[in-house]
A and B are shown apart, each in its own frame.
Chain A
């Protein structure tokens, strides 16, 4: 198979692939036609234009949702066709989607942690930390003197630095 003719029309390209290909133990793959792959690329470009266009329209919080949705559609196209998940062994799709499942668990639990900090122990006198400015006992000790280490009192001490220009 040194120099097969550079045929770009779809069906003939299968010929060198399929000849003598069904031997036991040889690699079997489905070969996509170049035109089909260019069509996938065109769809990706259209979706990119859509996502840029939508960013100029104010849809409130729906903007983020649309952006993520379009990005996921693009990623699905790349994974399904360019990365050959379609027609491939199911285990590859399971591993790929599994990574996202664990990512969702990661996001979910981290978000839950952040959203409920300081509020879980209300009965014991803890108070919600966020937005209220009230320190939750148990998590943070209120220092007696203002000379206490800065890190203990204000978790946002490092973050406050760029505020100097205000």
Chain B
């Protein structure tokens, strides 16, 4: 798009050659994009760059995990047995299913099925709620056992000794990583729920069609990222070999 002339020309197929007026604009097409495809591609490109930065943000924690585990292999193995494999597995299935329903929501929006989009978005949000409820019970148990990070770690003190478990030396490192990694992930679940709720509202307002489903697509991409992170968190934290 070097000159203004080309820009005007490429407007025409969508706007009926109306130039720069608002009259023939598709209602969803922002002024600074030539075509719906241009707008869609720009949104997706931006989202993928954002996803890359998210992977690198979690990457810092994964690197810390990898290095500490390399040095404290036995401790990681013993400490991880305090986590509930069943709850972790249930949450894995819940998140995988929510990824499917998010993808189905996108699919229904692509074919213009507004009711179907609404239905799958609501199912996705319900899965997110189930995930957080399970996470709540897990956290509650860890709080009770004094496994919190930093100087809040009290599991080694006498008041927790009665339960018979002896924690390995430096076990607080494992639980600090556990809370940081699942905590950051949990924040992403909450944000994802916000994004999907916004997408749901846009859909209910009638702003989504088979020509314009970017909010559903972008919201689902974020949700899949949340799923992707958990796919790695589950075996690394709950299934230490």
Contact = CB atoms under 8 A, between A and B. Distances in A.
Interface of A: 1-7, 13-14, 16-17, 21, 23-29, 31-32, 34, 37-38, 40-41, 44-45, 48, 51-52, 55, 58-64, 67-68, 70-71, 74-75, 78-79, 81-83, 88-89, 91-92, 95-96, 98-100, 102-103, 106-107, 110-111, 114, 159-166
A156 B127 CA distance: 42
B89 A48 contact: yes
A16 B55 contact: no
A81 B169 CA distance: 43
Given A6-B116, A67-B239, A83 B224 contact: yes
Taking residues whose C-beta sits less than 8 angstroms from the other chain, chain B's interface range is 35 or more
B93 A83 contact: no
Contact of B104 (A14, A34, A63, A161): A34
Contacts of A111: 66-67, 70
A114 B63 CA distance: 12
B236 interface: yes
B235 A55 contact: yes
Interface of B: 10, 13-14, 34-38, 40-41, 44-45, 48-49, 51-53, 55-56, 59-60, 62-63, 66-67, 70-71, 85, 89, 92-93, 96-97, 99-100, 102-104, 107, 110-116, 153, 155-157, 161, 166-167, 169-173, 209-213, 220-221, 224, 227-228, 231-232, 234-236, 239-241
Contact of A67 (B66, B89, B93, B236): B236
Nearest to B54: A99
A82 B104 CA distance: 9
B238 to A, nearest CB: 8
Contacts of B53: 99
A62 to B, nearest CB: 8
Given A75-B231, A106-B63, A165-B161, A100 B55 contact: yes
Contacts of A2: 114
A136 to B, nearest CB: 17
Contact of A17 (B112, B220, B224): B112
Contact of B49 (A1, A37, A95): A95
